[in-house]
Amino acid sequence: MSEIASSTENLETENPQADLASGGATVDTVTEVPVAIVGAGPAGLMLAHRLHRAGIDTVAIDLRTREEISTTQRAGIIESDAAMDLVELGVSDRILRDGYEHEGVDLRFAGESHRIDFKDLVDASVWLYPQTDVFIDLADARDRDGGKVYYGITDPEVRDIESSAPTVRFTADDGTRHEIRARYVVGSDGSRSMCRHLIPEGERKQYFREYPFAWFGFLTEAPMSAPELVYAHSEHGFALISQRTESLQRMYFQCDPTENVDAWSDERIWETMQARVAGADGFTLKEGPVTEKSVLIFRSFVQQPMRWGNLVLAGDAAHTVPPTGARGLNLALHDVKILAEVLERALGSEGEAALADYEPRALNRVWRAQNFSYWMTQMLHTPPSASPFDIKRQEGELDNVVSTRAGRTYLAEQYTGWPSHG
Ligand code: PHB
């Protein structure tokens, strides 16, 4: 174990000499810390929080500003174990006040809704609590606990990941240059990860699948149309009814990946949504002004390995899923739960060998979630090439899910998450 690894002190040196080891460029500060975290979204900050509780200091950096991360709309469903971790590990208990516990979801097809009752089927629930709020809570916890996070950085460079002294350099938002000397570097820098490209090309394998459709997501100032989420299949395409608060709702409908949001008036949006949920039961959506709209391109992606030398990838940097099963944030939080434990061991008496445990434990859940997200996506969306046969076959598949206890239980188990392995 190196000197740096054994230290939990955050050693910051002001105005050091020009750095000789990495090219001679001058930096304003050099910080020695056991773990450097590239990417300060929910995965990176939850890792920082968990490590802080274990007495391990971190420095986290992100290209995006704090404002950008806290206002970019993302999915809103958290497994109850992850929700309780936020409370029990002292991040914040705001989720208990502002979140909504959901004990089921509706699958809607052929104009009828069918409830999947999580509580009854698998004694589980999920929480509706937007990812932006998870981030806000984690960022506040970092401030409160004195954690170092640089938002809005530029020119990040990660070097020497195959050595026991990797470095991360960057320019802070005030123009100053910094170097972090770490024992381990974590790449939690999201689906456009720079860190994943540091694994040599000949050594990495990328698995991916693209889809011929996207989601048109919008926020609307309207009352709730349903108390729980409604995933709707229709011959016109998929729609999802989600919620935010009593007076603000989040909804999505399947669209072409090249769709231009400006071509969609509120009237056209509501007409499309109403047609996709219409049915003999008379279900209609409560309409209101649309306050935000964007197109979400999605794909399934995994990069292996998730570790190279002393660089470890976590969350979307290593794997992304289509949002249909609400797995993305949950997978990322599961990765860092394992990673915090493994890093703590690696920085203790076990040393680097402990890192070998991370990938197999994380990947087990990653591929199960890839399958579930893919399955939900293909079952509920109408590909542009779908024939009347394809639509009817999907209705048959949905019927198989909702009309047997085994089918409903399968969906409930996957949607609410699996127990952690190992
Ligand atoms: C959301 O509330 O934004 C949301 C919920 C469930 C999903 C995706 C998005 O599967």
Ligand 1 centroid from CA 78, angstroms = 10
Q: What is the number of other CB atoms lying within 10 angstroms of the CB of residue 29? A: 15
Domain ranges of the chain: 2-88+132-206+300-371, 101-129+211-297+385-416
Nearest CA, atom 2, ligand 1: 76
Ligand 1 centroid from CA 230, angstroms = 10
Question: pLDDT digit string (tens) for 54-90?
Answer: 999 999 999 999 999 999 988 889 999 999 999 999 9
Nearest atom of ligand 1 to the alpha carbon of 128? 2
Q: Which residue has the tokens 């170092």?
A: 148
101-129+211-297+385-416 is classed in which CATH architecture? 2-Layer Sandwich (3.30)
Residues with CB under 6 A from ligand 1: 75-77, 229, 242, 250, 323-324, 326
Q: In CATH terms, are 2-88+132-206+300-371 and 101-129+211-297+385-416 the same topology?
A: no
Ligand 1 centroid from CA 36, angstroms = 31
Nearest CA, atom 6, ligand 1: 326
189: left (phi over 0), alpha (psi -120 to 50) or beta: alpha
Query: What six digits make up the tokens of 293?
Result: 């709209």
The two beta strands, 299-304 and 290-296, are: unpaired
CATH of 2-88+132-206+300-371, one of 3.50.50.60, 3.40.50.170, 3.40.50.10860, 3.40.50.300: 3.50.50.60
Question: pLDDT digit string (tens) for 1-43?
Answer: 333 333 334 455 554 444 444 445 799 999 999 999 999 999 9
193 band by pLDDT with thresholds 50, 70 and 90: very high
The number of CA neighbours under 13 Å toward the Cβ of 288 is 17
Ligand 1 centroid from CA 192, angstroms = 21
**Alpha-carbon span 168 to 180, nearest angstrom:** 5
Residue 422 has what pLDDT? 40
Average pLDDT estimate for 198-222: 97
Nearest atom of ligand 1 to the alpha carbon of 244? 2
Positive or negative, the Cα torsion across 41, 46, 51, 56? positive
Residue 13 has what pLDDT? 57
Question: pLDDT digit string (tens) for 312-352?
Answer: 999 999 999 999 999 999 999 999 999 999 999 999 999 99
Instruction: State the burial class of residue 154 (Cβ atoms within 10 Å of its Cβ: 0-12, 13-18, 19+).
Output: exposed
Residue 33 has what pLDDT? 98
Ligand 1 centroid from CA 131, angstroms = 10
